[in-house]
Structure 1
Amino acid sequence: MKKWVASLSILLLLAGCATEDITNEQTERQQLLVELAPVQISSIGETLELSGQLLPTKQVPLVTAMPLKVTDVHTQIGQAVEAGDLLISLDDGEARRQVNQANQVLDELKQALHQAEQINQSVEQNISAAADLETELLASIERAQELLQALDEAEGAADQQALTDLLQASLDVSLKQAALTQAAGAGSLSAPLNTAELSMQINQAEEAVRQAESALAETRITAPIAGTIAQLDVTAGQTAIPNQPLAIVSDLSKMDAAFAVNSFQVARLAAGMPLSLSIAGWNETIETELTAVSPVIDPQTNAFMAHATVPNESQQLKGGMRVTATVELGTVQEAVVIPADAVLYQDGEPYTFVAEENRVRRQELELGTRDGASIQVIDGVNEGDEVVTVGKERLTDGAAITVRSE
Structure 2
Amino acid sequence: MMTVWSAAMVAGTVGCSGKPAAPAAPPPREVQVVTLAPSEVRDTGEYLGSLLSRQSVNVLPQVAGYVRRIHVRPGQKVEEGTPLIEVDAREETAALDSAQAQHNSTEVNLELARRTFARTEALYKEGLASAQELERAQAQVEAAEAASRSTAAQVTQRQVQLQFHVVRAPFSGTVGDVLVRMGDFVGATTPLTSVAQADVLEVSVAVPSERARSLKPDTQLEVLDSQGKVLLTSTLFFVAPQADPRTQLVEVKAAFRNTVGLRPSELVRARLVYSTRNALQLPALAVVRQSGQPFALVVQEKDGKTVVSRRPVKLGALGDMAYVVESGLKEGDVVAVSSLQALRDGAAVKVKPSAPGSRAEVVPTQGVAGGPGAASATGGSR
State the match for 2:71 in structure 1.
74
Matched, 1:269 2:215: yes
Q: Which ranges in structure 2 are unaligned for 5 or more consecutive residues? A: 1-40, 278-315, 318-371
Give the greater-gyration-radius structure (CA).
1
Deviations 1:312-363 (A, max 9, x none): 2353x1222212322222499xxxxxx99xxxxxxxxxxxxxxxxxxxxxxx
Find the partner of 2:191 among 240, 245, 250.
245
Q: Distance in 1 between matches of 2:245 and 2:88?
A: 42
TM-score in terms of structure 2 length? 0.56
Preserved CA contact (<8 Å) 1:261 1:305: yes
Preserved CA contact (<8 Å) 1:280 1:321: no
Q: Distance in 2 between matches of 1:222 and 1:302?
A: 42
Say if 1:260 and 1:377 are closer, same or farther in 2 by CA, change over 3 A.
Answer: closer
The structure whose residues are more often helix, as a share, is 1
Q: Distance in 2 between matches of 1:242 and 1:291?
A: 36
Q: Distance in 2 between matches of 1:100 and 1:298?
A: 57
Say if 1:310 and 1:281 are closer, same or farther in 2 by CA, change over 3 A.
Answer: farther
Deviations 1:122-148 (A, max 9, x none): 211111111xxxxxxxxxxxxxxxxxx
Say if 1:272 and 1:212 are closer, same or farther in 2 by CA, change over 3 A.
Answer: same
Matched, 1:319 2:248: no
Preserved CA contact (<8 Å) 2:48 2:269: yes
State the match for 2:58 in structure 1.
61
Q: Distance in 1 between matches of 2:93 and 2:246?
A: 45
Preserved CA contact (<8 Å) 2:121 2:134: no
Say if 1:108 and 1:373 are closer, same or farther in 2 by CA, change over 3 A.
Answer: closer
Q: How does 1:309-348 map to 2 (within 5 A)?
A: 309-315=255-261, 317-330=262-275
State the match for 1:168 in structure 2.
none
Q: How does 1:194-205 map to 2 (within 5 A)?
A: 194=139, 195-205=141-151
Paired amino acid for 2:233: E
3-state SS, counterpart of residue 372 of structure 1: coil
Deviations 1:251-305 (A, max 9, x none): 1122211123454344322222112222458854432221322335678987543
Say if 1:282 and 1:202 are closer, same or farther in 2 by CA, change over 3 A.
Answer: farther
Q: Distance in 1 between matches of 2:61 and 2:377?
A: 51
Say if 1:249 and 1:331 are closer, same or farther in 2 by CA, change over 3 A.
Answer: closer
State the match for 1:260 in structure 2.
206
Matched, 1:111 2:95: no
Deviations 1:358-388 (A, max 9, x none): xxxxxxxxxxxxx93777999xxxxxxxxxx
Paired amino acid for 1:102: A
Paired amino acid for 1:88: I
Identity level (%): 23
Q: Distance in 2 between matches of 1:221 and 1:252?
A: 21
Matched, 1:192 2:193: no
Q: CA deviation at 1:66?
A: 1.1
Find the partner of 2:238 among 266, 289, 292.
292
Preserved CA contact (<8 Å) 1:231 1:249: no
Paired amino acid for 1:70: V
Paired amino acid for 1:62: V
State the match for 1:178 in structure 2.
none
3-state SS, counterpart of residue 137 of structure 2: coil
Matched, 1:128 2:129: no
Preserved CA contact (<8 Å) 1:123 1:191: no
Paired amino acid for 2:52: L
Find the partner of 1:221 among 151, 157, 167.
167
Q: Distance in 1 between matches of 2:89 and 2:268?
A: 45
Q: Distance in 1 between matches of 2:99 and 2:247?
A: 50
Q: Which ranges in structure 1 are unaligned for 5 or more consecutive residues? A: 1-43, 131-182, 333-338, 341-370, 379-406
State the match for 1:97 in structure 2.
94
